[in-house]
Amino acid sequence: MRKLEESGLTKEEIIEAYRHVLLGRRLDERLWQLTRIGKTSFNISGQGHEVGQVAMAMAFQPEKDYFLPYYRDMTACMVWGMTAKDIMLGSLGKEDDPSSHGRQMPNHYGSKEHNIVSHSSTVSTQFPLATGVAYGAQLKKADYVTLTATGEGSANQGEVQEAMNFAGVKNLPLIFVIENNGYAISVGTDEQYANETMAERGPAYGFPGKRVNGNDFVETYLAFKEVVDNARNGGGPALIELMVTRLTSHSADDDHSVYRTKEDIDNLKKNDGLLFFEKQLIDEGYLTREQMTDIDSELKKQINQATDEAEAMPEPTADTILDQIYAEK
Amino acid sequence: MAMMTYLEAIRKGIQEEMARDENVVIFGEDVGGVKGGVFGVTKGLAEEFGDDRCFNTPLTEGQIGGLAVGLGLVGFRAIGEFQFADYILPAVNQLISEASRMRYRTKGDWIAPIVYRAPYGGGVRGGLYHSQSTEKVLFGQPGLRIVTPSSPYDAKGLIKAAIRSDDPVLFYEHKRLYRLLKEDVTDEDYVVPLDKANVVREGEDITVIGYGMVLNHALKAAETLSKEGYEAEVVDVRSLYPLDKETLVKAARKTGKVLLVTEDNLEGSIMSEISAIIAEEALFDLDAPIKRLAGPDSPSMPYSIALEREFLVDEEKVTNAMRELAEF
């Protein structure tokens, strides 16, 4: 693991990063609880992706950069500007849900205010869209960079190859991320791709590709910082393969004990980026265990408040079902 | 006024909108450079507006579909060309899952103002994959508009309206009409509405509803029947989706005898839906069963001349069907 000070980030920024990581974990735990008791119908989890996602997102400038996420990117979306309440409004299907105003399933993130583009459920359709957003920067001569993400299973879709090919041809300011957690629902990587790494696909389309340990905050942050700065300066696209762990089942409708052995499931905890990050923060003198406990309590309060506030918000009314299909009714 | 073909009218409409709004961009396979499209619709646009605004894409239709959505998200008005309407199939996921639903799934926070252009239709010896009427594949996808012009005047006005619209519009251009039709088109800046059918000929005896090549057959057939003493009301559907139900039902009620003509297959075409609408809304005003004239239910149009002729609805078939209905 690379030392936190090598990131070039301030102590405050690193503690802020930890707050984002822990908020992502605790909020996801709350969403599982709400699913189990029937208050929401579904959850799909990014547990085990949080450290990598926070390090990734911090290398961007969310006030102007665009993000086209996929369904495990809740934590990254919150670094980009969404709040715990925004997420909760979406999971509860409320009118004020900024992602879809109660029209999409949970975990389909979007926010016009924060430059986070809404996505579908047919995986990786966001990749061609990201090329359009990025080509827009070239047309406008604007210096924003676009980020789009998907999983290692979804990365086999044809639209991913089409988009990466186009990005190479046009040298777009666009960063592609494949969050590789080793499982596409129940199917392992040996049945998904034959290459050694997914990162190799970058050079195949004429731009760099790099595999990065998403449990290593500094390695991830610096890898992204390099390609984001390069893209912003006209250096073109890059692919990052972010190696992460899927700590949970694929979704609330899946049971990973069917296809993962007990030993495999027990071993997952040894690859939890949150634990690596916490150990590093303590060992390198950024936070004490007591301070972490305080942050945890504070975040739980924040999540309780977000849950209560979101639950109290109204549902969309039935008479709005035909609203906003076309520009003019 | 200037005499122009259907193809030239589309090009003129695009050229005027690109000159009017710098956010209009156009792209597709062979669209940029000196070639300007396999049919030449975009010829000259790269030279006039630059290679950034009129450009070639790799041979990737899904990418063309999604690139247009992405540009729409950041304020551009993208025109994506599919070289043939047959080749739209690899992009159907982008058109349905992304373009058609962006507005609805964000309740208007994000929109996709796009025109997807696609040459469609048979009678060009195009065989199974250069002849199809694939509009039925995208028909019935709320959020998406499908329009097709059947005259040069409409071609220019409709493409301009499609470019200015904040909705994704699938703009079908009939390949046979590109150079077949020629008329005086005003130089004035006008648009043709995207949601209105058009009564192109008035008559009291029968109502013929169609679009594209077969509509032009129907107009000629109407003149033949006029000499025989029957006057046909001819309606250009023009807005294929959503349909202009009001105009279609009114025209059906007017004569009580309805012939629906399409060069698509008989079953599952847009005419099937129009038939259902007329049956629901105007059954008791009808004096004859609703009649459909269409291609047979073979998978598209075969290449051989004999088979292609067998598939196609031509002027003679339309004339006969109209006469039969008039005499009913």
Domain with residue B65: its CATH number is 3.40.50.970
The chain-wide mean pLDDT, for chain A, equals 97
Q: Does residue A314 belong to any structural domain of this protein? A: no
CB contact under 8 A, B73 and A104: no
pLDDT, one tens digit per residue, over A23-72 is 999 999 999 999 999 999 999 999 999 999 999 999 999 999 999 999 99
Are B81 and B173 in a shared domain? yes
- The Cα–Cα gap between B265 and A47 comes to 51
Are B102 and B151 in a shared domain? yes
Which residue, B154, B185, B216, sits at the end of a domain?
B185
Among residues B12, B117, B130, B174, the one annotated as catalytic is B130
- The Cα–Cα gap between B61 and B67 comes to 10
Are B208 and B95 in a shared domain? no
The amino acid occupying position B236 is D
Does residue A189 register a pLDDT over 80? yes
Does residue A291 register a pLDDT over 90? yes
Record the tokens describing residue B84, joined without a space: 């043939």
pLDDT, one tens digit per residue, over A228-242 is 999 999 999 999 999
Average pLDDT over residues A68-80: 98
Are B178 and B294 in a shared domain? no
Q: What per-residue confidence (pLDDT) applies to B116? A: 98
3-state secondary structure of B289: coil
Q: Does residue B130 belong to any structural domain of this protein? A: yes
For residue A263, give its domain range. Answer: 4-302
Q: Does residue B158 belong to any structural domain of this protein? A: yes
Average pLDDT over residues A160-182: 98
Are B166 and B33 in a shared domain? yes
Record the tokens describing residue B82, joined without a space: 């599919």
Average pLDDT over residues A189-216: 97
Strands B232-236 and B198-201, by their bridges, are antiparallel
As for how many domains chain B has, the answer is 2
Q: What per-residue confidence (pLDDT) applies to A162? A: 98
The chain-wide mean pLDDT, for chain B, equals 98
Q: Does residue A321 belong to any structural domain of this protein? A: no
Are B28 and B64 in a shared domain? yes
Q: Does residue B8 belong to any structural domain of this protein? A: yes
Which residue, B122, B157, B185, sits at the end of a domain?
B185
For residue B74, give its domain range. Answer: 2-185
Which residue, B156, B185, B214, sits at the end of a domain?
B185
Q: Does residue A251 belong to any structural domain of this protein? A: yes
CB contact under 8 A, A327 and B111: yes
Which residues from chain A sit within 8 angstroms of residue B111, using beta carbons?
327
In sequence order, which residues have a C-beta less than 8 Å from that of residue B92 and are 6 or more positions away?
A: B137, B138
The nearest CA of chain A is from the CA of B119 a distance in Å of: 23
The candidate with the shortest Cα–Cα distance to B147, out of B88, B78, B193, is B193
What's the CATH number where A29 sits? 3.40.50.970
Q: Does residue A312 belong to any structural domain of this protein? A: no
- The Cα–Cα gap between B157 and A327 comes to 19
CB contact under 8 A, A125 and B97: yes
Q: What per-residue confidence (pLDDT) applies to A47? A: 98
Average pLDDT over residues A126-136: 98
Average pLDDT over residues A96-117: 98
Average pLDDT over residues A269-290: 97
pLDDT, one tens digit per residue, over B239-285 is 999 999 999 999 999 999 999 999 999 999 999 999 999 999 999 99
Alpha helices in B50-134 (DSSP H): 61-73, 92-93, 102-105
Q: Does residue A167 belong to any structural domain of this protein? A: yes
* Rounded percentage of chain A residues whose pLDDT exceeds 70: 100
pLDDT, one tens digit per residue, over A132-150 is 999 999 999 999 999 999 9
CB contact under 8 A, A100 and B105: yes
Q: What per-residue confidence (pLDDT) applies to A328? A: 74
Q: What is the DSSP letter of B99?
A: I
Are B292 and B235 in a shared domain? yes
CB contact under 8 A, B94 and A136: no
From the list B74, B93, B145, which residue is nearest A133 (CB)?
Answer: B74
Contact of B221 with chain A, judged by CB distance below 8 Å, is answered with: no
Q: What per-residue confidence (pLDDT) applies to A63? A: 97
Which residues from chain A sit within 8 angstroms of residue B165, using beta carbons?
327
Q: Does residue A319 belong to any structural domain of this protein? A: no
As for how many domains chain A has, the answer is 1
The candidate with the shortest Cα–Cα distance to A118, out of B105, B92, B95, is B105
pLDDT tier at A329, thresholds 50, 70, 90: low
- The Cα–Cα gap between A244 and A213 comes to 7
Does residue B69 register a pLDDT over 60? yes
Q: Does residue B244 belong to any structural domain of this protein? A: yes
Q: Does residue A65 belong to any structural domain of this protein? A: yes
Q: Does residue B191 belong to any structural domain of this protein? A: no
Residue B286 contacts residue B325 (beta carbons within 8 Å):
no
- The Cα–Cα gap between B116 and B9 comes to 17
What's the CATH number where B202 sits? 3.40.50.920
Q: Does residue A328 belong to any structural domain of this protein? A: no
Are B43 and B90 in a shared domain? yes
Give the chain B residue nearest A103 (alpha carbons).
Answer: B105
pLDDT, one tens digit per residue, over B73-103 is 999 999 999 999 999 999 999 999 999 999 9
Strand partners, A117: none
pLDDT tier at B167, thresholds 50, 70, 90: very high
The candidate with the shortest Cα–Cα distance to A175, out of A158, A199, A192, A141, is A199
Q: Does residue B193 belong to any structural domain of this protein? A: no
